[in-house]
Structure 1
């Protein structure tokens, strides 16, 4: 169990003790008799958690004996969690089936009991109750737990006393085994890398080195900071070394010095390191005199133009300690920082420059690999194909290329041996003994506790997996990784967690929204392997591949599987410790899961089996009272028994039929996100629920009866039918609504009469998508009146008519506008109508004669994105681009998406042939100006 797992359990235990959310448990005679004992245990565990993981975390984390105490404490909390969780499960079971035998359930825990016998946390009455067949007797006896806790606490206090913590100036001078994250101090006059695997890496750095050098020597007299930021192993130190030794830099600066900052450092050691780097001899008697060392350095640097490289700095506090050492003599001095953390250079810079070091291209990776393996010789032709694949599978990380090059250098030069390496590049890298894992593990070791679990979670998914941020955060919430912070929602806090992982260069951004928010992310394969290794050490999760057939000897908390879990006999042994079961296997066949399948997983909080088609819904799922996240594929609609899962936060249902929700859905008081690929029909909701996301709900007749009971809704994807009432007045009362997607179904394109839709939307709305609504363009004034609208998507005949006259309407806050599948021919608009627009997207608007030229004058416009159907639109883009270039607006970019299949739904063949001829001519004429090869026009 990790720190966040402890926090989650303590939160749940607090709810059990002090709130009456579960009458079955709170009114149980056994619980009532043990309540004071449980309350005392809660207070003791809370106090110990605060001491071990918060107050003394920084100063004690490196001590081996303290790490052992923390591990024992985690195991203790884990077992308390199991005892309480199993009690809650069984109490609910007996409430649901009062006359049924509990024998099968308790039998499944006997093996678990034997495993934990040394702790004696589960009483023998459990076994007796099984033997007596129909009797029910479970224990909440926590005396042994309290005894173990007292022993752990006593041992910890003894450690503190022995170390004399209150008077000791630094724990780092204790004779303890240094952790992997400690970096030795170099006292040489030139920078020396501890990571020897990168010592010869020079490929791809020419442009970066030139840019950094120019920033260091530019004509600015004040002391300033230039920073290099990137993930571990990407070449930050190598780049800094290249610049440090550049002849022009050597000539420009009077004094150059280098210091490497470890995660745990001493200020006087850093001073000695810098002084030694510039050739100053240190008197051994003065080595511990901090004031003397600081004065000596200040004197050496005063009135000099100096360059100090601070390599591998890990915290803003470290910079605050170092900053006073460096005098500002208005002589053009510079500090060059390298860091994996974005927050450090942001904190350090005044007017400084931050350079984000990028991954190598596939071509650069291949060049580096050849240089390392063949030392200037040519690669044998029979190895080129597999070699290029190996380089590509390093995903641009120089450290990975260098390490895998060392592996290849030891292999025979045969196609088979190289193809074997190509199949498992990341595994070879992590298993190599060159210290690659230690270099990357520094980033993990430096993570705060609340981010470690979030990061480890990413490693269980397949290689090259692209995470949709919304779903990932929902999973983090269900796992308990995200804690409530002030008035911020869990979702907002989750986004901050993800951004912090990105800023620490542990997670890559795969896709962004128009406003810069992260839409999708990924993890480098080497970091993913690191996650898996750390997860194994922490007993965090188990990833099941085809090679694992039995779980008999394993005690995982989380199971991620890429195989057909239910068809491969993986449920032949109980797993009461498991909190998460996530099936990533694409099961195509319909399966039958029996009731007993989930009896062996009583503590599940996350169950994702949406890749498996269920013929019948397992009744046992309704007994999973701890369940917070449930995703499944059920072919028969909405099972009413789901309404018993009161802890549920996220419910995702894939179905082949519409979902009719019963009135008892209001029992799901914690449900925040409800999503389905089919239409959701609400009945009459009896009381308000906490829903924040619903997709896709049926609007129209009678919607007002349930809309009023979802007052917290933020995101609503809705549909209505042509024959329904289309007065959406009920939506206007939803004051928290920020995103709405409305679509119309059941209307034929050749129908002469269109439904009359009356849009009434709340002023809080920020994002709106309309599809197939057949509104007249005059109704767009309703949208113009929305004061907070930032995103507007008008799709597939959402508005009908050949002409859109924007007139005097002003979309004050609109930043993103998309027009798709419209019959519009003439669009009259100017920069006044869209003063804040950043992105304009046009898709399948074949009849549009031109984009209003005045839109190019919008000062905030960053991108115009169009498809290549309409040559007239392309020509107007050419005019806009030319005008903006002449005005000095070089920030505007134009993206042209190439489409290979013509769409003849609008217009005729003759018109298409004409457009195609014009388009070909336009391509030839503008080939030198625009690059259409990659689908993107870049304007520089």
Structure 2
């Protein structure tokens, strides 16, 4: 895809122009620089022609799209040849093994590739010059004007609405929507219901639409189902026919139809249900049909899978997100559907609850399984069979309703999101994706396309949020500090769809009990077609010939596979084109010998139990992300030539048994040779000769232990800083760019809080382990105007003074193990934005002050403030 091509162009550019690349001085590289330059020119010219210049008259031509595909195919072949050449050169000068006749040889031949590129260019010029007028096939991912599919309520061919049995359990949702639709607000308002396919959006809208009070309240009710396709004339016609009955409107112009719709609605209090809307452009067109100046309480109810559409329709209106059903609600629906209100047999409860668990709260899945159960005579044996094979029954539904419904979401994905989505199909069931790591993986895989001044990581995070807004990913955990998404997961049925699509396109392979080599039998027909392997079952490793695995670009392991651990080093010469290698679950005694051969690696995560970091790894100049897990208590010493990793952006180290321990330092960097382009540097001790400003000018996130250097003010990009010290700080300077700050052991007096007060962008502040010392903190003197999250932990504070202006935008306050603190100031409760107070391991008097704060707020009618009181310390522990 185009994003991967951008990364290839950058690699070419580096080898042509870069002076600090370790490969640059090899004779073979110097000899072929001219070819690199010609290829870069050819590719750049075609990118400009096919992707950057606008050709509106050609965009929909089949041949134009075919030329793009041929260009990408040729570019992938060029990258394959180029990468093999670099690997051969790298192995020649850095390999531990004796060369043999089977080794790849340093040769480079772009003749066929450049011929293919020339052919594409000539055909494009011919097509443009002749202004060819060919029939075009619509591009469903971007175009809007497609076959009409808008239908009125209950008309023939309308979207099938599930039967009444599915309406069970949505009374609370229906009441919320009805109250919003009929509230005393004269202005036209838009209410939206969003959620994944099969979650019950249409069912909920149906219940509300047919409610007796809703019928009485609105003079006119209209139902329009839009779906992925939209035709204005058809929608106008169906609106009129749903109000006035069957009409002959064949000769009416579009403007006449709009006039008639407006005439039917003006002066009436109307409710328009627009079901299953997919496009912002569709809404922008539809909203023009409806009178906005009635001022009589008219309403529009939207249902959509896309939060973006709902947000665009009315950012201030109610956007009701439908979630998955809990077990109780799911069991109730299953029983009503199967037993028709009669009592369920005792024997059905155990397999029935397993069936409910397997449906994972998706109403449409429950309806399908309930239909299967209802068709058969009651039998415990049959129920147990269904419980054991629920997924296959759902996927194999004879009506195809579930997978067909979910497939619509995939078909609607824009091209730049498809690779990101398909990639997730290789992960194990119920896997929790850590947002930060997933973003780095997408960037390393080449899925993310550069746009403007945004970093690739920011663009990738935007893609992830887009998948969440499209209800293809579920938020699993949010950061307590700022509400951002920490982890996400995928519903089992969405994952099933993802795996089906990924395997159809040869995008991923997964291992179960087969040998790895068997997976490459069917994927080598195009030897440069990238393959990504996800290892969830212990594989039987067998020797590969070099050519059999050259298309393997990624290997991610999700368990501690002993056979893989023992043999992995034998296969690095077969996997020479690997870009991603994730072995963080595999406990290795040392860095495997031969890993330095993987010169194309962009992402490496490894569990290393040695206290040294081999300098040979620093020859992997393409590395962007390096994650090391180590159980060495004294830390892993980094080599001074770590700065040879000229593309490294993220360097992190963790202890396997204390992932959340912020202050356990795992990397030790005694010295460094030259500045690095790091954005993230986590858990590191820096030697006296390593100056922050000199060697890490681009750092955005830093987690480290400092000894003497404490001046961070000159950092231009630093947003997140976590500092621990081993001695009392006298002074510290911080950059105004900081958004998150964590301090520990610095033992600064509270008077020095003015340092933090001067940070205009600070949102999150965590003070731990005597970060500040002294019995009294007077926040009247140290206001933090933008702070939304404050955590105090293990401080010797006894008296805290504050008023409502100290933290005017504070949302969450956490206090833990502040054993001397007597109470929380009552003024804290008067902060209008405050949502949650959490305390743990504090005096009972602190807990009592929190209860008083909450009660005072209840007395003023504020029931939004929540409190969470954990363990209270007994009196003898607070002395």
Normalising to structure 1: TM-score of the pair?
0.82
- CA 1:161–1:640 in 2, change beyond 3 Å: closer, same or farther? same
**1:297 counterpart = 2:298:** no
Distance in 2, matches of 1:731 and 1:834, equals 25
CA displacement at 1:387 relative to structure 2: 1.4
Please name the residue that 1:142 is paired with. Answer: 111
CA displacement at 1:631 relative to structure 2: 0.7
Once the two structures are overlaid, the 10-residue window that deviates more, 216-225 or 706-715, is 216-225
- CA 1:615–1:231 in 2, change beyond 3 Å: closer, same or farther? same
Distance in 2, matches of 1:828 and 1:173, equals 62
- After superposition, where does 1:301-700 map in structure 2 within 5 Å? 301-328=265-292, 329-349=294-314, 352-409=317-374, 413-415=378-380, 417-423=382-388, 425-433=390-398, 434-513=400-479, 514-546=481-513, 550-555=518-523, 557-565=531-539, 568-569=541-542, 574-587=548-561, 591-593=565-567, 595-636=569-610, 637-657=612-632, 658-677=635-654, 678-699=665-686
- CA 1:797–1:575 in 2, change beyond 3 Å: closer, same or farther? same
- CA 1:431–1:598 in 2, change beyond 3 Å: closer, same or farther? farther
Gaps of 5+ in 2: 524-529, 655-664
8 A Cα contact 2:50 2:68, kept in partner: no
8 A Cα contact 1:342 1:503, kept in partner: yes
Please name the residue that 1:727 is paired with. Answer: 708
Distance in 1, matches of 2:375 and 2:465, equals 40
Once the two structures are overlaid, the 10-residue window that deviates more, 67-76 or 436-445, is 67-76
Distance in 1, matches of 2:307 and 2:125, equals 36
Distance in 2, matches of 1:635 and 1:666, equals 23
CA displacement at 1:342 relative to structure 2: 1.5
CA displacement at 1:250 relative to structure 2: 2.0
Once the two structures are overlaid, the 10-residue window that deviates more, 710-719 or 480-489, is 480-489
Question: Structure 1 residue aligned with 2:721, among 733, 737, 740?
Answer: 740
Distance in 1, matches of 2:340 and 2:111, equals 66
Distance in 2, matches of 1:90 and 1:231, equals 48
- CA 1:347–1:552 in 2, change beyond 3 Å: closer, same or farther? closer
- CA 1:390–1:796 in 2, change beyond 3 Å: closer, same or farther? farther
8 A Cα contact 1:30 1:140, kept in partner: no
- After superposition, where does 1:704-719 map in structure 2 within 5 Å? 704-705=690-691, 707-719=693-705
8 A Cα contact 2:713 2:734, kept in partner: yes
8 A Cα contact 2:508 2:532, kept in partner: yes
* Cα distance per residue 1:690-719 (max 9 Å; x no partner): 1111111114x6155455210111211113
Question: Structure 2 residue aligned with 1:80, among 66, 78, 81?
Answer: 78
- CA 1:25–1:217 in 2, change beyond 3 Å: closer, same or farther? farther
Question: Structure 2 residue aligned with 1:863, among 814, 828, 836?
Answer: 836
Distance in 2, matches of 1:219 and 1:383, equals 48
* Cα distance per residue 1:531-553 (max 9 Å; x no partner): 11111112111122235663242
CA displacement at 1:331 relative to structure 2: 3.8
Gaps of 5+ in 1: 107-135, 721-725, 746-753, 913-940
Question: Structure 2 residue aligned with 1:239, among 185, 204, 208?
Answer: 204
8 A Cα contact 2:193 2:319, kept in partner: yes
- CA 1:241–1:57 in 2, change beyond 3 Å: closer, same or farther? farther
- CA 1:313–1:546 in 2, change beyond 3 Å: closer, same or farther? same
Once the two structures are overlaid, the 10-residue window that deviates more, 401-410 or 496-505, is 401-410
Aligned-partner SS, 1:215 = helix
Distance in 2, matches of 1:539 and 1:387, equals 37
- CA 1:362–1:25 in 2, change beyond 3 Å: closer, same or farther? farther
Aligned-partner SS, 1:475 = helix
Question: Structure 1 residue aligned with 2:243, among 272, 278, 288?
Answer: 278
Please name the residue that 1:723 is paired with. Answer: none
* Cα distance per residue 1:472-499 (max 9 Å; x no partner): 1111111122222222222222222222
8 A Cα contact 2:671 2:690, kept in partner: no
Aligned residues: 850
Give the superposed CA RMSD.
3.8
Once the two structures are overlaid, the 10-residue window that deviates more, 311-320 or 357-366, is 357-366
CA displacement at 1:640 relative to structure 2: 0.7
Normalising to structure 2: TM-score of the pair?
0.87
Distance in 2, matches of 1:402 and 1:563, equals 33
Please name the residue that 1:111 is paired with. Answer: none
CA displacement at 1:319 relative to structure 2: 1.2
Distance in 2, matches of 1:814 and 1:340, equals 34
8 A Cα contact 1:305 1:332, kept in partner: yes
Once the two structures are overlaid, the 10-residue window that deviates more, 93-102 or 320-329, is 93-102
Once the two structures are overlaid, the 10-residue window that deviates more, 289-298 or 416-425, is 416-425
CA displacement at 1:609 relative to structure 2: 0.8
Aligned-partner SS, 1:708 = helix
**1:843 counterpart = 2:799:** no
8 A Cα contact 2:150 2:231, kept in partner: no
Please name the residue that 1:884 is paired with. Answer: 857
CA displacement at 1:861 relative to structure 2: 1.8
Aligned-partner SS, 1:894 = strand
Aligned-partner SS, 2:324 = coil
8 A Cα contact 1:66 1:156, kept in partner: no
* Cα distance per residue 1:315-345 (max 9 Å; x no partner): 1111122122222333433222111111222
CA displacement at 1:646 relative to structure 2: 1.3
* Cα distance per residue 1:443-484 (max 9 Å; x no partner): 121121111112222222222222221111111111122222
* Cα distance per residue 1:778-829 (max 9 Å; x no partner): 5545434444333222223444455444462223333211122344443333
Distance in 1, matches of 2:758 and 2:44, equals 54
* Cα distance per residue 1:823-846 (max 9 Å; x no partner): 444333333433332211012334
* Cα distance per residue 1:847-906 (max 9 Å; x no partner): 432212221122322211112654222211111112222334333221234x5xx889xx
CA displacement at 1:672 relative to structure 2: 0.9
Distance in 2, matches of 1:384 and 1:850, equals 50
Distance in 1, matches of 2:96 and 2:111, equals 26
- CA 1:188–1:768 in 2, change beyond 3 Å: closer, same or farther? closer
- CA 1:502–1:139 in 2, change beyond 3 Å: closer, same or farther? same
Please name the residue that 1:89 is paired with. Answer: 87
Distance in 2, matches of 1:455 and 1:684, equals 41
Aligned-partner SS, 1:651 = strand
CA displacement at 1:730 relative to structure 2: 4.0
Aligned-partner SS, 1:368 = helix
- CA 1:313–1:393 in 2, change beyond 3 Å: closer, same or farther? same
Q: Give the structure, 1 or 2, with the largest relative contact order (CA under 8 Å, sep 6 or more).
A: 2
- CA 1:78–1:408 in 2, change beyond 3 Å: closer, same or farther? farther
